[in-house]
Amino acid sequence: MKKSGIKKTQQALLANLINIGPPLAVSLEMLKAKSPQVPRSKGSGLHNGEILALSPDQLLIDLPEGSETTAILKMSFQNKTLELFQKPLSIKGLIPVIFKDKLCYLSHIKGENSQAALKEIATYYRKNQHIAICAQDDIEDSQRFTGFSDFMLVPKSLPELDWEDLTTQSSFLGENFSLPFLITGMTGGVENGEMINRRLAYAATKLNIPMGVGSQRLALESPKYRGIFKLKHLFKEKLFLIGNLGISQLLASADPLSLAQRAVEMIEADALAIHVNIMQELVQVEGDFKFKGAYKVLEELAKKLSCPLVVKEVGSGLDQSTVLRLICVGVKGIDVGGRGGTSWPFIEGKRSALPLNQNLGSLFRDWGIPTAYSLAKSKKIIGSSDVSLIATGGIRSGLMAALALGLGANMVGIGLPLLKAALIDDEEPLNFLKEMAHQLKIVQLATGAGKISDLPLSVVRKKHFFDLSE
């Protein structure tokens, strides 16, 4: 087949594929062609090919020059624990397409078992890609605009306090913690997930702070991944653990309550966080586009789940009307997850094999309500009710944490810097958080805030502070 004979319009066929770089080497075992539509093989035998991209029902294969394949008999996945294709894959036909200026073949994978196996591989790749991209690339808001730069802490030039007088204790979801820091829920991927979670849990127990886990979806679907989340009994100190599911997963479930309850029981969670990530889904190649009915599901969970319910954004911020409705349906924790830090639309664009999604990722990189604004507006809704308010999204120092606490947060959530720290060694997440705690205490003393709940007295909007006519 000549390259010139392939129409560019076939690119549309590739719309759902995700890149899997580096390509996955596979052995393609040739079968004799039975169907006249399938190019006839010169005989059976082993050939080496590469899977360049995949989706839950498609494989994009690069075959060696001159090979005329008929079917893939077996494909075993690189990781030993994921030997998925033990039965022959039935490929009805291979479609020649141009991918990155190269002639490749697209195969539609039929059959429930094969599709389920491929879906698992796709999820495996997605999680690992998220970690690799987060670790290597600049994937934060291009301006780093959290909104905190519009606010300032007014110094108390002569505070009536000693360093020993300072307390950083904070209460969150009815429990007391030693610091107002939350290790926010992050998927650690499949290969490093267990190690990352263990290192984060170590820091959480040493500092007596709460920790969220990343989405439990994969482990709910495939029990073999549950080990990644077994954290409760690793350390002798108590670990306050927050489970995690996506709103899309709940909406797609026939019985969201029992799904959520299973997630709680799987890790003995003390609370369950549901992530809402509309812009991420809209840019993600495999994203879900259905969000109707969310409040009804959340209301049922808030009423019947065995632990408090938290709703979290992941970087686009929560708007005021949403916060109000969430509180009305009984949600006990709100994480504003605002703009300024990790940008999920941008990460999803980077993962895609196609320029369409890559362009979407760049277009929506800086989408959303900056953390400080989402926080300040949410605080107006929450007032002095018992709902806990979490500020996540671009918090990178104890000074930023102090501003967030001053704007009314009960806890500040930290994501990306802790992921990077957890990839270094056992101690790094703990060291990072200790440094942040030290910075926070410096701000406390310099503003005369002996306790965290004093910080709001020192926060002002710069615009007002510098207006001398006021």
Ligand X SMILES: Cc1cc2nc3c(=O)[nH]c(=O)nc-3n(C[C@H](O)[C@H](O)[C@H](O)COP(=O)(O)O)c2cc1C
Contacting residues toward ligand X, per CB under 6 A: 130-131, 134, 184-187, 214-215, 244, 275, 312, 314-315, 337, 341-342, 392-395, 414-416, 419
Residue holding tokens 């009536």? 160
Q: Report in angstroms how near the CB of residue 414 gets to ligand X at its nearest.
A: 5
Q: Token digits for 37?
A: 């539509």
Pick 371 or 444: Cβ nearer ligand X: 371
Measured from the CB atom, is 109 or 179 closer to ligand X?
179
What are the tokens at 333? 């924790």
Closest approach of Cβ 248 to ligand X, in Å? 12
Cα–Cα dist 407/91, whole Å: 58
Which residues face 183 on adjacent strands? 211, 414
Residues 324 and 411: their CA atoms lie apart, in Å, by 19
Q: How far is the CB of 298 from ligand X (least distance, A)?
A: 15
> Is 379 in contact with 46 (CB distance < 8 Å)?
no
Q: What is the DSSP letter of 134?
A: H
Q: CB neighbours (10 Å) of residue 56? A: 18
Q: Is 128 left (phi over 0), alpha (psi -120 to 50) or beta?
A: alpha
Chain position carrying tokens 């624990």: 81
Measured from the CB atom, the residue of 337 and 370 that comes closer to ligand X is 337
Q: Which amino acid is at 105?
A: Y
**Which lies closer to ligand X via its Cβ, residue 399 or residue 446?**
399
**Do residues 183 and 212 make contact, with C-beta atoms less than 8 angstroms apart?**
yes
Nearest by Cα to 185 from 306, 120, 272, 261: 272
Give me the least distance between CB of 258 and ligand X, in Å please.
Answer: 20
Shortest CB 315 distance to ligand X, Å:
5
**Residue with Cβ nearer ligand X (106 or 416):** 416
Complex with ligand X: residue 188 or 448, whichever CB lies closer:
188
The whole-angstrom distance between residue 328's C-alpha and the CA centroid of its chain comes to 26
For residue 141, the minimal CB distance to ligand X (Å) is 8
Q: Please identify, using beta-carbon distances, which residue of 184 and 197 lies nearer to ligand X.
A: 184
Q: For ligand X, which is the closer residue by CB, 130 or 441? A: 130
Give CA–CA dist 285/183, Å, rounded.
Answer: 28
Supply the minimum distance, in Å, between the C-beta of residue 221 and ligand X. Answer: 14
Is residue 391 within 8 A of residue 379, CB to CB? The reply is no
Nearer to ligand X, 135 or 363 (CB): 135
Q: Which residues contact 420 (CB under 8 A, 6 or more apart)?
A: 134, 135
CB of 246 to ligand X, least distance (A): 7
Smallest separation, CB 228 to ligand X (Å): 11
Of 120, 63, 20, whose CA–CA distance to 72 is shortest?
Answer: 63
Q: Which residue is nearest to ligand X (CB)?
A: 341
- CA–CA dist 46, 116 (Å, integer): 25
Place of tokens 């006249």: 36
Q: How much of the chain is in helix, strand and coil states, percent to nearest 5?
A: 40, 20, 40
CB of 415 to ligand X, least distance (A): 3
Q: Which is nearer to ligand X, 154 or 423 (CB)?
A: 423
Record the tokens describing residue 338, joined without a space. Answer: 């605002």
CB nearer to ligand X: pick between 131 and 430: 131
Tell me the pairing of strands 333-335 and 151-153. Answer: unpaired
Query: Rounded to an integer, what distance in angstroms lies between the CA atom of residue 173 and that of residue 186?
Result: 20
Return left, alpha or beta for 368; rule: phi > 0 is left, psi -120 to 50 is alpha, else beta: left
Minimal distance in Å, beta carbon 28 to ligand X?
33
194 three-state secondary structure: helix
Q: How far is the CB of 341 from ligand X (least distance, A)?
A: 2
User: In terms of CB distance, is 246 or 448 closer to ligand X?
Assistant: 246
Q: Identity (one letter) of the amino acid at 454?
A: D
